[in-house]
A and B are shown apart, each in its own frame.
Chain A
Amino acid sequence: MLLIGCGNRNRGDDGAGVLVAERVRELGIRAEICTGEALALIEAWCGFDDVVIVDAVVTGAPAGKVWRWEGPDMKIQECSPVSTHGFGVAEAIKLARILGRLPKRLRMFGIEGRQFAVGTDVSPETLRAVEELTRQLTEEEAKQLPTPVVEYL
């Protein structure tokens, strides 16, 4: 599995994805950090069959809520990016789908944020969500691993 944490650590809760990437790395899971720029994302997951993307989201739900999207029915908002600065995760998935560059398994986690101003701290709700998602992902990953074979002499 490759986890890609998207976001900007200098913008409060926008750093949620980056924090998760840093946490799972400490626990031995391979993780990359991306700004979320579409072309870089497609490059980052190239060659991986099982990819998890974590990014901050704003849906109006309470801060700290963790969303999960997975599978072929994953709906991508039909909203054309304006500048290249808006060419992000959704566009990466749309473009990769057309180019046949989506990983076989793609899980997307969104952590609901509430403060995104430059220089702000990560909110306590987001920090709790980062820990919860880290725990959940490491547990899922552990289940995927083959049971260690112990040979008795």
Chain B
Amino acid sequence: MTGRGTRTIRVDTLARVEGEGSLYIKLVGDRVADVKLKIYEPPRLFEAFLRGRHFSEAADITARICGICPIAYQMSAVHAMERALGVRIDPAVRLLRRLFYCGEWIESHALHVYMLHAPDFLGYPDVIAMAADHRAIVERALRLKKIGNRIVQLMGGREIHPISAAVGGFYKTPTKQQLTELVADLEWALEASLETVRWTASLEFPNFEQDYEFVALRHPDEYPFNEGRLVSNRGLDIDAAEYEDHFVELHVKHSNALHSVVRGRGSYLVGPLARFNLNFDKLPDVARNVALEVGLRPPVKNLFRSIVVRAVELVFACAEALRIIGQYEPPAAPRAEAVDRTGVGQAITEAPRGILYHRYALDEKGLIVAARIVPPTSQNLRQIEEDLREYAARLVAWPIEEATWKCEQAVRSYDPCISCATHSLKVVLEREEVDED
């Protein structure tokens, strides 16, 4: 058959993402006529119900936005509040926050690499089917994730929606002994992560490179978690306070999640690829060396290879956790004092799936009068649609089922957290046959 008319790739329910949504792609002949990543769940209105709450509540309220990356929400919230209130944190607290983030990255990346993304490359519908043939690999994933959970539980008081992060520090900080007890597990996790890099690098990747604007934090001395300037490969170099001068969120009819764009330029990419490409020189030797060993060098422009980059970041997170534990001395006080006052504060931190922006305005009683949250998935949504527009055009000759599967895989490469963006993913690939005569 040579005739290709209008066809629709339709995936009603996109699997293995955080939350639920749908994807609709319309092909007319060899051209992609329409791509819609439909986020149809109702808005969650967090920014509205933060108003009137005390600054000390924001970390616990916003942690509820996501069950996978609550620490990212807590970190962006407390840093923004500290800027609004002029609070300086103890260097030991700063280290503990990095350790806390290591736990979340290990949990989240292990989940995505092994449970959500790997089945795509190995041809399984889900991790349960994959486990039957790759038991040792799934066992490794479970143990890695558990080690991330242990860090989060120790630092945060509990695994899900941790409760220990506070403006100025933590409500409770761990003892040196408690952290030392994590070392043996983390040493195992570091080795397992190195194996993860080698294993993911051996997978087969579609040949699909795009010319992205990569956006990530950059810090002079370290691979970024909690602070740094926001930079891009197209010349962006700003403080968090300037974020809204350079980025704008757009409402699109088909989505309850807003689409963020760089003013005057459009879509951009946040997350592991952006961090890796912009901060390769800041990776610890162990992570940089294993990346080079498997042939991974910046700029990585193939989103499907994000699974390898996530594995490299797993190596980084384990090595960084070990470094922090090795030099840890408990802070004199768990947290610095924060006093009610009028102020505005912005912060950006690196959630596992990309930058997370928070801005708060406070009144003289320390109550929130305005809140703005831009989650990483909102920042990637426009880019996901543009990728699919390009990628689907290469799949027009494919049987619809396979094309649909590949499009789902492309979306999953982003590790979208639709729950954060609002909540959701279904995929629809529509194809209308027309007579070429």
Partners in one complex: yes
For residue A147, CB closer than 8 A to chain B, the reply is no
Contact B160–A82 (Cβ < 8 Å) = no
Which one of B78-86, B139-147, B267-275 contacts A?
A: B139-147
| B-side contacts of A83, CB under 8 Å | 14-20, 418, 425
Report the Cα distance A82→B16, complex, angstroms.
6
Report the Cα distance A81→B68, complex, angstroms.
17
Contact A98–B425 (Cβ < 8 Å) = no
| B-side contacts of A80, CB under 8 Å | 15, 125-126
| A-side contacts of B159, CB under 8 Å | 40
Among residues of B, the one whose C-beta sits closest to the C-beta of A85 is B19
For residue A50, CB closer than 8 A to chain B, the reply is no
Q: Is the interface of A mostly helix, strand, loop or mixed?
A: helix
Among residues of B, the one whose C-beta sits closest to the C-beta of A90 is B128
Could you tell me how many residues of chain B have their Cβ less than 8 Å away from some Cβ of chain A? Answer: 31
Binary contact track A59-94/B, C-beta < 8 Å → 1, others 0? 000000000000000000000111111000001001
Contact B128–A95 (Cβ < 8 Å) = yes
| A-side contacts of B67, CB under 8 Å | 35, 37
Among residues of B, the one whose C-beta sits closest to the C-beta of A35 is B160
For residue A29, CB closer than 8 A to chain B, the reply is no
| B-side contacts of A43, CB under 8 Å | 142, 146, 149
Picked from B17, B128, B131, B142, the residue with its CB within 8 Å of the CB of A84 is: B17
Query: Quick one: given A43-B146, A99-B139, are A82 and B13 in contact (CB under 8 Å)?
Result: yes
Report the Cα distance A83→B67, complex, angstroms.
13
Report the Cα distance A58→B146, complex, angstroms.
31
Contact A82–B20 (Cβ < 8 Å) = yes
Report the Cα distance A6→B186, complex, angstroms.
30
For residue B127, CB closer than 8 A to chain A, the reply is yes
For residue A42, CB closer than 8 A to chain B, the reply is yes
Binary contact track A7-50/B, C-beta < 8 Å → 1, others 0? 00000000000000000000000000001010110110000000
| B-side contacts of A81, CB under 8 Å | 15, 126
For residue B132, CB closer than 8 A to chain A, the reply is yes
Q: How far apart are A21's CB and chain B's nearest CB, in angstroms? A: 15
Query: Quick one: given A35-B160, A98-B135, A99-B135, are A82 and B128 in contact (CB under 8 Å)?
Result: no
| A-side contacts of B18, CB under 8 Å | 83-85
Among residues of A, the one whose C-beta sits closest to the C-beta of B126 is A80
Contact A39–B17 (Cβ < 8 Å) = no
Contact B138–A99 (Cβ < 8 Å) = yes
For residue B373, CB closer than 8 A to chain A, the reply is no
Report the Cα distance A83→B16, complex, angstroms.
5
Q: Which of A40, A43, A83, A99 is the most central at the interface, judged by chain B CB atoms within 10 Å of its CB?
A: A83
Q: How far apart are B245's CB and chain A's nearest CB, in angstroms? A: 35
| B-side contacts of A82, CB under 8 Å | 13-15, 20
Contact B145–A39 (Cβ < 8 Å) = yes
Q: How far apart are B408's CB and chain A's nearest CB, in angstroms? A: 11
For residue B111, CB closer than 8 A to chain A, the reply is yes
| A-side contacts of B115, CB under 8 Å | 39, 84
Q: How far apart are A17's CB and chain B's nearest CB, in angstroms? A: 15
Task: Mark out the residues of chain B between 1 and 32 whose CB falls within 8 Å of any chain A CB in the assembled complex.
Answer: 13-20
Picked from A35, A37, A91, the residue with its CB within 8 Å of the CB of B128 is: A91
| A-side contacts of B260, CB under 8 Å | none
Can you give 14 contacting A-B residue pairs, CB < 8 Å?
A35-B67, A37-B67, A42-B142, A43-B142, A43-B146, A82-B13, A82-B20, A83-B418, A85-B19, A95-B127, A95-B128, A98-B131, A99-B135, A99-B139
Excluding A43-B142, A99-B139, 19 further A-B contacts by CB distance (< 8 Å) are A35-B67, A37-B67, A40-B160, A43-B146, A81-B126, A82-B20, A83-B17, A83-B18, A83-B418, A83-B425, A84-B16, A84-B18, A84-B111, A94-B128, A95-B131, A95-B138, A98-B128, A99-B135, A99-B142
